[in-house]
Structure 1
């Protein structure tokens, strides 16, 4: 086996907006994929820091505060805690999960953001643009962000704020078709505001860098159109007073920094440096740390165009080396929707039903929306858990553990090694940094689980199969993997360096995680009223 040189990684799952909890649509996209990659890298002996935060200055926090009649700081604090619990419930590991509106790193975050924009201004790469924005003097709200709804100026689909989820476009509020106030603000008047933009000097270089980071061609095309439409300008400020404050414009309109990912990268990398000071700051060009960010396509233009442009313009910084992007994940064929309560909350599916974290992760990995929209179908989830996990896998693990010879040191028989080495290599291909595919990782594990050529009633076959299962399942089903690794005589988490080493199996001292058989009815406590299951009565 070739020795692996340990490397340092900094991973940042996209900061979620704390205006609600995380549902399975969120988890299936950026959070599970990044967690699986982090776990895989650790199996290789690499050092990995995973740091994220909540995007507490998003205007949708203000809207949520109005709906719940709470101050925005309280909204952020509450949902920050609930989101952290949703991540923990599905074993999505984050070393630090920061609240940057308040808390110990809030001032540092604001300083990072302001100093960065001040540097851009000093470098002469910014431009002040006069825009028109609808304004309500009665509520003192600028109709931008969460407060504005209408139609996308490019595809005419329904849109809100600055973004179109249908085509991925990022646009100025004044270009919105049929603009309307979300909350019925009245009277409205057009006012002029000054906004600060970064001028991208070399758009072609920017696009090439995105392509090298693993961004899909379809997303790069959307960003190319955005840069052409906006003459290479990337927004740095917006009118309003919720956010990191910037100086008022010459019309005396308040302004805040328009956060687009780079600010969180700087602060989260600061925190990672505190964990491992010897590695330095991950976002500096002089750093040897490999960096990755994960996000959905609805954030692609903002995060890629914004972060890459700002980091490049700073000259001594660099944008993320690699990006993981995902499409939307649907529930019973319709988009997950917090506003319509068409959701399955992440923690609820394991806290209110017999479903396990490993089982949910296994299914979400199988259905990963990494290449296009996919769907969480309740009946299909039940079938997969019952057939693959509670049925075949649990029975085979029982047989294999019962076959282990616990009286002597065991090692993998030489004639069985090629099959394991091939599976290990295929898993490595699934986690190539420029083309991470958790669906491919699932396929490797799924095939290993079946392995009809292995008779697990034989001690040698059982030992090989369990070792491979623990290692290959580590990114996907970490609870089962850790238990099996311990039963096989190893400490800690599965690592490739110990995969081929001899070990002395241990007796069971902790009950093995098992997969309960499910039914649609058993899942009812976590399902929304919008989900009507097959066979359910019309008045249920």
Structure 2
């Protein structure tokens, strides 16, 4: 006889609750399930999670709400609940007593597979999505390293959502009030407003040349109403009990008579030792005051920094730490971002200075201006609120560089809490690391860069987008060699797609320029059609913010083109045999269907080639991504030549 007893002293902490092993196959040979005692403490929520197992909770004591997906049930002693495989669940105990259960779980793969089939990726995408990208700082042009971060990847998602019939809007702008703009103006001997205007115009033109379409563009220095709107939000922020006016020692350059912060300060991070500007370290993502830098110097003249007392409003971020933890547990955060924020919360959040000594930015009282990052966060909230008022509620997905993690995952939510605008915060954060040129970061000051405008002019937007999406720095630093950067049109997908599509000229001639209807099917035809639909679902899965991967998408799309080319090569031998004419018709109809599918699947990556293919097939408007591919009507005419040729492109859109 084997017995087990509920024993709180024997429990360990896991899944944000107490667990104690009960019985499993390790105890009883052949036992087809595992089991544990569990206890969720009073006023605690267990970790939201899912797994491939089926599971039952048998309630021993207490009352709590069990959440499974969108369902909620309050359970008490003697009640039982079944949790299906891959269903996200948690236990919310709002009572004053522990909620004690027995959990019994088992693996049944057919049930797990069936549950996955009920959760197609497309069904998990919102009907309305706002895709935000951090506005680039207009202190210089965009190089390929900039473009490889959030901008093209976010455009890829927006195009994919639109091709599925979803409502998606792209929001970005220029970060005009950054200290880097003011620093650049000092170094150039001009005014910050002129730098913001000229460089901002160039950035917008580059994004447009790269095929990045935006629906809302925030440019604070060019918006006469921006300061008023932001000051109204700031007044809400200043009323928070977590905001206090304090005098603190601040880094200062006596030679320039300049308060050193952010772009004006340069030294080494006190945490990781990497070269860093003031307030944030790009290498480790940790925040800190410029005065804390090792070997802090003035960026303008190089003079070693001293300190002086300055009075300003300071925000106690740590006062919102618990609210921030609760907020982020309900959001998707990329693994690198999640690890950083958890570390920062465990270490204790530092206070944040809201006003800066200077003249560039939104003017506050006492000769100070609003901190540029606080300005940026309030601009984000203002834009999200305006979008919602004008176009209705939407799920917000934010693409951002890892170096901005603190500002968007900590400072932004806290400012939203303090101003009562938490409903406009991102539901998902999709991060990127850095793309390096060779073995070093892109650097404007060292001339170690390939300018995006030059690359776009030389290779065209499709080739540039494809190269940057293939090497997207997702979850890691990636590299592109100077040689590769000079041969962007040699990408294997870019060349393979053009070769495959070029072969349609001969096929169109064989069918008098019209798409044939299907005839007799072979097993190979059936499996190729199955592949077109399965490949589409796999690509759909890479578009979920929680699993977004531009790199994976490009490689899957390359495999798609290879599979289509192999199908043609195999089928070509039987297309001239009279007795197999019915099979040949099906084979050709499948090829045209593959071209239709390619146009829709490739539009987020190489929009010009995809649009030309769609137009060549005689299809209207922009590519439409079907869940299950429907054949082109028999007899449909196609344009002369093949997709990508001069004749076909002449009637297309770019």
Instruction: Tell me, yes or no, if structure 1 residue 393 matches structure 2 residue 508.
Output: no
Structure 1 pair 55–411 and aligned structure 2 pair: CA distance change class (3 A): farther
Give 3-state SS (helix, strand or coil) of 2:333's partner.
coil
Among candidates 11, 21, 25, match of residue 145 of structure 2: 25
Distance in structure 1 (CA, Å) of the matches to 2:230 and 2:481: 42
Aligned pairs for 1:303-382 (under 5 A) are: 303-318=408-423, 319-351=425-457, 353=458, 355-380=459-484
Partner residue of 1:241 out of 359, 377, 399: 359
- TM-score if structure 1 supplies the norm length? 0.84
Structure 1 stretches lacking a partner, 5+ long:
280-287, 516-540
What is the DSSP-based 3-state SS (H/G/I as helix, E as strand, rest coil) of the residue aligned with 2:145?
helix
Check whether the contact 2:334–2:430 (CA below 8 A) recurs between aligned residues: no
Aligned match of 1:518: none
Shift in CA distance, 309/339, structure 1 to aligned 2, threshold 3 Å: same
Contact 1:455/1:461 (CA < 8 Å) preserved in 2?
no
For residues 488 and 203 of structure 2, what CA distance do their matches in structure 1 show? 27
Aligned-residue RMSD, C-alpha = 3.0
Q: Aligned-pair distance for 1:82?
A: 0.6
Higher alpha-carbon deviation: 370-379 or 264-273: 264-273
Structure that is richer in strand per residue: 2
Q: How far apart are the structure 2 equivalents of 1:217 and 1:444?
A: 23
Structure 1 equivalent of residue 209 of structure 2? 89
C-alpha offsets along residues 370-423 of structure 1, whole Å, 9 cap, x if unaligned?
A: 110001124345677436256432221111343144435757978243111111
Between 1:148-157 and 1:372-381, the stretch displaced more is 372-381
Task: Decide which structure has the larger Cα Rg and report it.
Answer: 2
Unaligned 5+ residue runs, structure 2?
1-116, 573-586, 647-654
Count of aligned residue pairs for this structure pair: 496
- For the Cα contact (< 8 Å) 1:138–1:187, is it kept in 2? no
Q: Is contact 2:187-2:300 (8 Å) kept?
A: no
Deviations 1:349-369 (A, max 9, x none): 121x2x232122112111110
List aligned pairs for 1:159-178, cutoff 5 A. Answer: 159-178=276-295
**Alpha-carbon separation, structure 2, partners of 1:343 and 1:187:** 29
Matched, 1:428 2:535: no
What secondary structure sits across from 1:426 in the alignment? helix
SS of 1:294's equivalent in the other structure is strand
1:72-96 C-alpha deviation (Å, 9 max, x unpaired): 1111110111101211221111123
CA deviation digits over 1:233-273, x for unaligned, max 9?
3443323221111222xxxx634234244223134335635
Partner residue in 2 for 1:521: none
In structure 1, the residue matched to 2:549 is: 437
In structure 2, distance between residues paired with 1:228 and 1:330: 31
Q: Secondary structure at the match of 2:244?
A: strand
Aligned equivalents of 1:149, 1:384: Cα separation in 2: 35
Structure 2 residue matching 1:135: 3-state secondary structure: strand
Return 186-195 or 406-415, whichever deviates more. 406-415
Q: Is the 8 A contact 1:454 1:461 kept in 2?
A: no
**Match for residue 568 of structure 2?**
455
Superposed CA offset, 1:282-326 (max 9, x none): xxxxxx311112111111112211111111333343311111110
SS in 1 for 2:546: coil
- Residues 118, 479 of structure 1: CA spacing in aligned structure 2 closer, same or farther, 3 A cutoff? same
CA distance in 2, matches of 1:450, 1:97: 39
> Any idea what SS the aligned residue of 2:429 has?
strand
Q: Which deviates the most, 325-334 or 407-416?
A: 407-416
Which residue of 2 is the match for residue 144 of structure 1? Answer: 261
Distance between the aligned counterparts of 1:370 and 1:489, measured in 2? 37
User: TM-score with structure 2 length normalisation?
Assistant: 0.70
Structure 1 residues 241 and 384, CA, compared in 2 at 3 Å: closer, same or farther?
closer
Whether 2:356 is the aligned partner of 1:220: answer no
1:265 aligns with 380
Residue among 297, 302, 324 paired with 1:206: 324
Partners of 2:283 and 2:258 in 1: CA distance: 26
1:53 partnered with 2:173: yes
- Residue 30 of structure 1: how far off its partner (Å): 0.7
Q: Secondary structure at the match of 2:131?
A: strand
Deviation at 1:495, TM superposition (A): 1.4
